[in-house]
Amino acid sequence: MRCCACCRMPGRLARIHYGRFDDLAVLFGVCVRCDQTNARLPAGTAQKRLNAAGALAARDTSGRYYTARFADSDAASLAAHLLAAGKTGPETAAALGWR
């Protein structure tokens, strides 16, 4: 089972985030626990947690976390939208190696 990029614990994927970290467009997932925690935290604190998770995802080469790195931000955005869609979500997850 893959791990959450935010808490680094194994868990089920709850939400996908994407952004630009270390000159890479990164797509990363957070678990249910972290998603619920971020919803309760102030916006600034939640953003700091997500920035740290994104930086970890940009450096991850082990495949341990729910991460994918892209050449540009548009590709990361497209992958995030494809993962969120009902019909293309499982196929996209399989293409990223998340299933």
- What are the structural domain ranges in the chain? 13-86
Tens-digit pLDDT string for the chain (99 aa): 889 999 999 988 899 999 998 788 999 999 999 999 999 999 999 999 999 999 998 898 888 999 999 988 899 999 999 988 888 888 988 888 887
pLDDT of residue 32: 95
Do 22 and 29 form a contact (C-beta atoms < 8 A)? no
Entry pTM: 0.84
Strand partners of residue 28: 17, 67
pLDDT of residue 17: 92
pLDDT of residue 62: 87
Q: What is the rounded distance in angstroms from the CA atom of residue 68 to the CA atom of residue 22?
A: 14
